Every structure is written in C-alpha cells, then in structure tokens.
Amino acid sequence: MKIIKLTNEVSLARDIETGTESQKESVHTIIRKVREEGDRALRDLTKQFDGAVLDRLFVSEAELENAYDHIDETTLKALRKAIENIRTFHYKQKRESWITTHHDGTMLGQKITPLDSAGVYVPGGKAAYPSTIMMNVIPAQVAEVEKIIMASPPDQEGNLSPVVLVTAAELGVEHILKVGGAQAITALAYGTETVPAVDKITGPGNIFVALAKQAVFGDVAIDMIAGPSEIVVLTDDTANPEYVAADLLSQAEHDEMASAVMVTTSAEIAERTKLEIEKQLSRLPRKEIASASIADYGAIYVAETMQDAVEAVNKLAPEHLEIITKNPHSLLGSIRHAGAIFIGPYSPEPIGDYFAGPNHVLPTNGTARFSSPLNVDDFTKKSSIISYSKEAFMRDANDVAAIARLEGLEAHARAIDIRKKKSDDE
C-alpha cells in the first residue's frame, strides 16, 4: 500500500469496463433472439450458457420448500434478522402522497404511486448472494410494487442455490425465473409468453448483464450500472490500525478493480496500517484479488489537517466512507459526498453490507456527488395534482394567458380565454 502526502489530486477514477465490440454484438444478438422467440430463446440460451436443460422456467413451490433442508438454523436466523432490519430501515423511507387545500377551493398535491412491477437480477456462479436479493427486493416491496420477478442463472442441473431460494422464500418472492445474463434482462424488459415485462430492472451482474441493461434502458427504467466497489476510511491518530486494515481488505477482496483508500491526519497510523495490511493480507483466502486491488487502486493519504482530510473525502465522493476518529459524529455535517457513512470503530462496512438496515446498492466512481443509495423512492413515481376552482381560475386567468402569449403560444392562452369569457358572460 502506497503512503502519499495529500495534495489536491485525489481521485477514485478508474477505467470502468464498458464492454468490447464483440460483447456488445453478442448482447444485441441475444436481445433480438429473446424478443423474437420468447421462451424458446430463453431455454436455448440457458442450455448454451449455463449448460442446463430447463423443465420449467420458473422455480416451483416444491423447489422452494426443499431448499430449507439445506440451510442450518443459525444461517436462517441470521438471514431473518437481516431481513427484519432492512425492512425496518426502508419503511422509514416511505413517503405518502400529499395534497394542500386552499380557501378558494384549489387543491395542489403530489401523488406517490408504486411501480406496477419490478425485475430483480441476482448473479449466479459459484457464490450465492442473499444480500443482493434482500437489498433489491425489500425496497420494492416496501414501495408496494405488486409484481416482483427475480431472475438468476441456474447451475448445470437447472437449480438455484438453496441460500438464494430460501432468501427469496423468506421475502415472499413468488416469481423466480431460472434464467441469467442478457437473456434474463431482455425477458424482464419486453416479456415473453410466460415472463411478464416489468417497469424497472435492478440488480448487479457481469458485463453482459450491464450491457443488456444499458440497451433496454428507456424502454424500462434501470438502477445504476455499478462500477467496482470502493471504501475510504477517514482517521486521525485514535484509530486502531488493525481494524482499519481489516476494513480496507474487506473491500479489496471483492475485485482486482476495487479501491481501498485511507485518508488520515496521522503519519504514524498510516505506517502502522500499512504494516497491518501486509500482515493480514497474507492470511486471506482471496489474497491474490486483494493484493492486486491494494497495489493498483489502494492508497493511504496523509493530510496536514482534518479539514484537508475531509475535503479530500468530498473530492473522492466514495461509495463507502468509514469515519474512525476521536469524535466521528461531529464530522457528519462536513461530509457532502458519500454513498454510505459508517461512523465510529464499531461500524465496519460489513455491518452495512448485510445487516444494519440501510441499502448496500450504492453509487460508485464519484457518482455519490449526485446519486443515492437504492431506496424506496426508486420503486415509486410521483404525479402532480392540480385542481383549480372556478374562483381561483378567474383570479389567475389573465396572468396565465399573459405568460402564454409571452412564449408565443396562443392556443395555450385561448384555452384560458375561452373559459374566462364563458364565465364572464354568465
């Protein structure tokens, strides 16, 4: 891990994988095929890419029930507690429609309506990701989205992992499509004979999933295209280097492109954390990945003052920020850009990744400047409500017509005048 004296030049910017021409070509071929051939294409492509011959495209109730036999009680208890915490937090995000009523009879308001339907993509492969399911499904459920379709690629036997199935069952997800990749995204976007088209697709995936989401964007809504994960740990001389090192490594193990950065006011803590990283790194199962990440995208910046350090954090606009300082809460007001802020020595990032309640789908690559964690609002939309009374209309008519004519839109003005004249005549 490099230790660098802080200057103005801090950045998390990395080259994000945008797909090769051949990958884009493949995705467009898949999209065309699924739109033309529907379910048949889903079966063919699942055979081709996942090696599975699917009997039925959707998980059956029996499969869901049997999955419980493969989960131990401790795991189930942990998953249930996580679900409860995540639900509790997201319920607080829920917003109601509102309306204002005025003495003149006018009513103005904002109606909040859930999306009709949402699709949640869950990556497959060797690992199972129960947290992905929770973090994408729960905000949609809290928003009261009526139809939620989950999609995940099966193994060669055509099965999803028991952990994935149990997590979905615990959440009450009823429709689980055993299809992955660009073919799943296309089915969710446009529908097939058995897969209903949804209004929004969320969830992470490989480059083919990301390219497919970009391609269908506009016809349906999508969440962000997430870049590699990032953490910035902000410390002073009170931080425990063992903790900081462990937290940096927990980010670095995700991906060779992941970025683990420390910003500190203490040169001593910088040195000690660097040594701790080396020590802990050597004992990690995923040490190859973590080493590459630390070498290429890791850094420890040493700042002259806490103010400089905070300014660097705001420039970095990290996905995850940990503040481990003497008085960490006092810095909250000065942090302008971060996806999630973990405060104090007992809030390591994994607490938020899995358990505390806030969402782990967060803006990466500096987009925390203008983007938010996935949240309940993302599964609703607003409609404005305008209800004018005759009295209010008559009062405002001339002003409205005047502005319409200022913009050269005579028919707009006449839609006002025709009512005004009629009412004046009465």
**In the bound complex, what is the minimum distance in angstroms from residue 126's beta carbon to its own copies?**
7
- With contacts defined by CB under 8 A, how many residues of the chain interact with its own copies? 119
The pair phi, psi for residue 362, each rounded to 5°, is -130, 155
Q: Identify the bridge partners of residue 315 per DSSP, sorted by sequence position.
A: none
Residue 183 counted as an annotated binding residue: yes
**In the bound complex, what is the minimum distance in angstroms from residue 109's beta carbon to its own copies?**
8
Write 65-71 long-range contacts (CB < 8 A, 24+).
Answer: 65/169, 67/162, 67/165, 67/166, 67/169, 68/162, 68/166, 68/169, 69/162, 70/162, 70/166, 71/162, 71/163, 71/166
Task: Give the residue with the Cβ less far from its own copies, 20 or 100.
Answer: 100
Q: Please tell me the distance from the alpha carbon of residue 86 to that of residue 360, in angstroms, as a whole number.
A: 10
Is 418 one of the binding residues for its own copies (CB under 8 A)?
Answer: yes
Is 338 one of the binding residues for its own copies (CB under 8 A)?
Answer: yes
Contact set for its own copies, span 240-259 (CB under 8 A): 242-243, 246-247, 249-250, 252-254
Task: Give the residue with the Cβ less far from its own copies, 5 or 421.
Answer: 421
Write 72-79 long-range contacts (CB < 8 A, 24+).
Answer: 75/163, 76/166, 76/170, 79/130, 79/166, 79/167, 79/170
Chain position carrying tokens 């989950």: 150
Q: What single-letter DSSP state applies at residue 254?
A: T
Q: Please tell me the distance from the alpha carbon of residue 302 to that of residue 316, in angstroms, as a whole number.
A: 14
Is 274 one of the binding residues for its own copies (CB under 8 A)?
Answer: no
Burial environment of residue 220 by CB neighbours within 10 A (0 to 12, 13 to 18, 19 or more): buried
Classify the C-alpha dihedral 113-227-121-77 as positive or negative: negative
Q: Which residues contact 132 (CB under 8 A, 6 or more apart)?
A: 122, 123, 203, 204
The pair phi, psi for residue 140, each rounded to 5°, is -65, -40
Residue 320 counted as an annotated binding residue: yes
Window of 31-39, 40-48, 58-66, 362-370 that interacts with its own copies by CB under 8 A: 362-370
**In the bound complex, what is the minimum distance in angstroms from residue 192's beta carbon to its own copies?**
19
Q: Which H or E element spans position 312?
A: helix 306-316
Window of 20-28, 188-196, 298-306, 365-373 that interacts with its own copies by CB under 8 A: 365-373
CA 270 to each of CA 104, 232, 273, 347: distance values in angstroms, whole numbers, following the listed order: 65, 13, 5, 20
Of 111, 147, 175, 272, which one interacts with its own copies (CB under 8 A)?
111
Is 267 one of the binding residues for its own copies (CB under 8 A)?
Answer: no
**In the bound complex, what is the minimum distance in angstroms from residue 332's beta carbon to its own copies?**
7
**In the bound complex, what is the minimum distance in angstroms from residue 273's beta carbon to its own copies?**
13
Residue 110 counted as an annotated binding residue: no
Is 58 one of the binding residues for its own copies (CB under 8 A)?
Answer: no
Q: Please compute, for residue 233, the number of CA atoms within 13 A of its CA located in the half-sphere on the CB side.
A: 36
- The residue from 90, 170, 253, 320 that is catalytic is 320
Is 292 one of the binding residues for its own copies (CB under 8 A)?
Answer: no
CA 152 to each of CA 155, 195, 237, 264, 351: distance values in angstroms, whole numbers, following the listed order: 10, 13, 45, 41, 25
Of 61, 406, 425, 426, which one interacts with its own copies (CB under 8 A)?
406
Identify each DSSP E strand in 152-243 by its residue range: 175-177, 200-202, 221-222, 230-235
Q: Which residues contact 313 (CB under 8 A, 6 or more apart)?
A: 232, 234, 263, 321, 335, 337, 338
Token representation of residue 278:
């080396």
Of 23, 93, 159, 206, which one interacts with its own copies (CB under 8 A)?
93
Q: Which residues contact 180 (CB under 8 A, 6 or more apart)?
A: 46, 49, 50, 121, 123, 124, 151, 152, 153, 154, 205, 209
146 counts as catalytic: no
Residue 121 counted as an annotated binding residue: yes
Chain position carrying tokens 């529907």: 38
Task: Give the residue with the Cβ less far from its own copies, 275 or 332.
Answer: 332
Give the x-and-dash track for 206-235 against its own copies (CB under 8 A). Answer: ------------x-xx--------------
Task: Give the residue with the Cβ less far from its own copies, 45 or 323.
Answer: 323
Residue 254 counted as an annotated binding residue: yes
Is 15 one of the binding residues for its own copies (CB under 8 A)?
Answer: no
Task: Give the residue with the Cβ less far from its own copies, 92 or 103.
Answer: 92
- The residue from 319, 322, 349, 360 that is catalytic is 319
319 counts as catalytic: yes
Of 81, 84, 296, 305, which one interacts with its own copies (CB under 8 A)?
81
Is 147 one of the binding residues for its own copies (CB under 8 A)?
Answer: no
**In the bound complex, what is the minimum distance in angstroms from residue 392's beta carbon to its own copies?**
7
Residue 353 counted as an annotated binding residue: yes
Residue 329 counted as an annotated binding residue: no
**In the bound complex, what is the minimum distance in angstroms from residue 181's beta carbon to its own copies?**
20
**Which residues fall in the annotated binding site for NAD(+)?**
121, 183, 206
**Which residues fall in the annotated binding site for Zn(2+)?**
251, 254, 353, 412
**Which residues fall in the annotated binding site?**
121, 183, 206, 229, 251, 254, 320, 353, 407, 412
**Residues designated catalytic:** 319-320
